[in-house]
Amino acid sequence: MTERLGFGGPPVGEPVGLGEVELRRPRLKTPESFDGLFSDGRYERISHALGKAYRDVVRGFRGEFPNPPDLVASPGEESEVELVLAWCEEQGAAVVPFGGGTSVVGGVEARLDEDAPVVTLDLRRLDRVLEVDPVSLAARIQAGATGPSLERQLREHGLTLRHFPQSFEYSTLGGWVATRAGGHFATLETHIDDLVSSVRAITPRGTWESRRLPGSGAGPSPDRMLLGSEGILGVITEAWVRVRERPRFKLSRAIGFGDFTAGAGAVREISQSGLHPSNCRLLDQLEAEMFAGGAGEAILVLGFEAAGHEVGWPMEQALEIARAHGGEPKEPAAAGTGDGVEGVVEEWRSAFLQIPYLRDSMVACGVLSETFETAITWERFEGFHTEVMETARRALAEASGAPREGAGSARVSCRFTHVYPDGPAPYYTVIAPAVRGGEVEQWDEVKVAVSEALLAAGGTITHHHAVGRDHRPFYERQRPGAFAAAMRGAKSAVDPSGIMNPGVLFE
């Protein structure tokens, strides 16, 4: 790591062991009458206390769990969800719905007053594909099903949901719906929103379920209100989702560009062409160098896939567009060599999947590694990108004391994760020497600076990472005041005691 970055390394820290963590005593007694539904076990409380943001990984590594739940409830059926909500309301306890625990925005950490008890409601026992409609290509799936679990069950029917967020291994369908999660695919159905046809949730005041239809103009959509609600209205227990045949034809190519701006021009034209690639991920020079074996050029990772037809023609059309913008397609590799385009694409894919797991090592070695993302329209992108990059570099240098250029400098890179006909979703990665013992404060300083820059330049505070508690101050400035009042009214109607995930979306 030191060889690659110019910083990080000895002394290598050791994480605090489970038995050494100082844990606040539960403020609620485990109700004996509920037959093992609740637990106050040490491991259960600690493993449900934080999400997976950099600041969470750092605090977990240090053994700092300031806001653990008092109890963890693990219902196995909807009636037990109802029971938990009723008991918590009676006890005056907050309820934090929990899927895979992969929130990177403080969505599962209950930062409440010291006297406010908290119950985390873990949905992972509700993990089955309940029904498959092969005629309409839909499936009814319980909210606690993880990505691998639901895909295994759908594979028995030759189907796939085709939604693969980076947290796929651990995150759940209910979590995807509650946070409007984005998947790997770059165009068309990029968010879980596009795949949901109906949602069922249990609220403190009854069941909320929308009718499954291909489309409807009957007023505001009930399931759209639950999408992105982040647990403040109720507990999502299942959803009908649109599935499809598993793809049989796949093709990937890598294209090099002399600079990121030229690559962005090609991506814009491809996104507006109607070709709809499954992958259209543009990496700037630094991102390509760090994660895809690039050497001084931006790399476009382009892919097409389909269940019922070959994809060579749309790939050729997209390559022609790339060439017109100065792109140079990498030659396909000879079979079995692992070189050429397959080498670049596979190196990127492998790095992409490993990045979240490398952060533990980076924390141990004194390296700050975190990301932030947004979306902006094409006509504003170039100026927006310049401003955000400059702000991030300046903030990192000031917070870490590292040089802005040369050996040992802090680094900021960018890639497009999703692209639309009207604009891209830029995703920024920052890597810098960590201030050991002050990593959380260091990142918070950078996060505020870049968040202010995103809003000031007209972007969104988050494209697919949700709001949680970390983004809330900036989200409150992005959303219309009248809409906030309407959402508060909806919450008051179904959660009059305010027990559902307080502090998320609203103060």
pLDDT, tens only, 30-62:
988 898 999 999 999 999 999 999 999 999 999
The length of the chain in residues reads 507
The amino acid sitting at 6 is G
The two three-digit tokens of residue 380, written as one number = 């504003």
The whole-number average pLDDT for the span 292-304 is: 89
Q: Whole-prediction pTM value?
A: 0.95
Q: How far apart are CA 115 and CA 93, in angstroms?
A: 10
The whole-number average pLDDT for the span 10-33 is: 93
Q: What is the pLDDT of residue 433?
A: 94
Q: How far apart are CA 120 and CA 94, in angstroms?
A: 8
Residue 339 pLDDT class (50, 70, 90 cuts): very low
Q: What is the pLDDT of residue 342?
A: 58
Segment holding 178, helix H or strand E? helix 173-179
Q: How far apart are CA 342 and CA 41, in angstroms?
A: 47
The whole-number average pLDDT for the span 388-392 is: 97
Q: What is the pLDDT of residue 489?
A: 97
pLDDT, tens only, 412-468: 999 999 999 999 999 999 999 999 999 999 999 999 999 999 999 999 999 999 999
Q: In Å, what is the CA distance from 9 to each residue of 1, 6, 199, 400, 401? A: 7, 9, 47, 16, 17
**If you ran DSSP here, which 8-state letter would residue 28 be given?**
S
Among 102, 178, 65, 96, which Cα is nearest to 503's? 96
Q: What is the pLDDT of residue 358?
A: 87
CB contact at 8 A, 288 and 240: no
CB contact at 8 A, 333 and 423: no
Which alpha helices (DSSP H) does 421-480 contain, by range?
439-456, 472-478
Mean pLDDT of the chain: 94
Neighbours of 492 (CB within 10 A): 11
Q: What is the pLDDT of residue 184?
A: 87
Residue 306 pLDDT class (50, 70, 90 cuts): very high
